[in-house]
Amino acid sequence: MPPRKEPSRVGPRPIRGDVSESSSSNPIEQVNEDTLLRDLIPPRGVSTRRDDIRIHIEEGEVPQPVVQVQETAVQKCLKLITGFSKLMPMMFEGGADPMVADDYMDQVENHLTSMDVTDDHLKIILATYKFSKDAKLWWKLVINQHKVEDMIWEMFKELFYEKYFSVTKRWELRKQFDDLIQGNMSVIEYENKFTSLSRFASEIVKSEVDKTRKLISGFHYQMRPLITSKYFKVYLEAVERALMLEAEANDRNVGKEQWKQKRNTGSSSEGPSWKKNKGGPSQSQGQ
């Protein structure tokens, strides 16, 4: 008996998920929503990947948000100390030189500003962290005498300057600035000392013109009129002009020294021959 042939199917095959074909009389071709969800969602306990991030789905497991751990006060202080140490490698040992103390405090305040440290207690911790030797011993005495945790920054500076930069020393340095002249110093040496001492006379050098005039007034008397004729308003121009005049004077002095040496060398070489020639005839006459 020949095999039974299935009737040929006419027309296009229904597309899965097509709403128009979902009502087909063939139950094999019927597609419902449960079928679509089953194809799209993996079984529980199966790992999937999305954007290279592995997600593990467990039954009853709910993803927890990442908790941001806040930085503690100790961690913040240690972080600031590390950053401050990189900016401030030098130690402050104390001593009797008030300029060293003033330079140290000036650098500390600049670094605190760049690090945006506004809390007074943190400022004091950072400023005293670089203390050593005499300064460290002095700070231990201050801790025993004052309530440091409640101390404001201005009070700390007042105690610091009272110890290492008294008012008397400030007036002495102010007097040095008032009496400062170039003398035997070079232009560079004079300008460096002028800049170092000018911080103690802010009212005298409050403007560019005043600062320039004070600088020129201390130059050598032979150099002064050559600068005041043109360069008396801009500080850096006055310094540059003074350096040029100094270089020209040095070149002239070198030329004079070379001329003297050449003249002395020529005189010494001609002297013996002249004496020899002069003595020759006299000896012959005597004979």
- Each domain of the chain, given as residue ranges in start order, spans 73-165, 182-264
pTM of the prediction?
Answer: 0.54
Among 199, 198, 202, 203, which residue's Cα sits nearest to residue 215? 198
Tokens of 279: 């003595």
Tokens of 172: 């002495």
Tokens of 245: 């005049």
Residues forming beta bridges with residue 173, ordered by sequence position: none
Tokens of 229: 């004729």
Phi, psi at residue 131, to the nearest 5°? -75, 145
Residue 28 pLDDT grade (very low, low, confident, very high; cuts 50, 70, 90)? very low
pLDDT at 6 over 70: no
Residue 192 pLDDT grade (very low, low, confident, very high; cuts 50, 70, 90)? very high
Q: How far apart are the first and last CA of the chain?
A: 175
Residue 161 pLDDT grade (very low, low, confident, very high; cuts 50, 70, 90)? very high
* Distance in angstroms (rounded) separating the CA atoms of residues 186 and 220: 10
Residues ≥6 apart with Cβ < 8 Å to 161: 101, 105
> Residue 164 corresponds to which amino acid?
Y
Among 30, 12, 10, 8, which residue's Cα sits nearest to residue 21? 30
pLDDT digits (tens, 9 = 90+) for 231-283: 678 899 999 999 999 999 888 877 777 777 777 776 555 555 444 454 544 44
* Distance in angstroms (rounded) separating the CA atoms of residues 247 and 237: 15
> Residue 266 corresponds to which amino acid?
G
Phi, psi at residue 179, to the nearest 5°? -95, 5
Where helices occur in 115-183 by DSSP H, the ranges are 120-129, 134-145, 153-164, 167-178
Structure confidence at residue 282 (pLDDT): 47
pLDDT digits (tens, 9 = 90+) for 101-148: 999 999 999 999 999 999 999 999 999 999 999 999 999 999 999 999
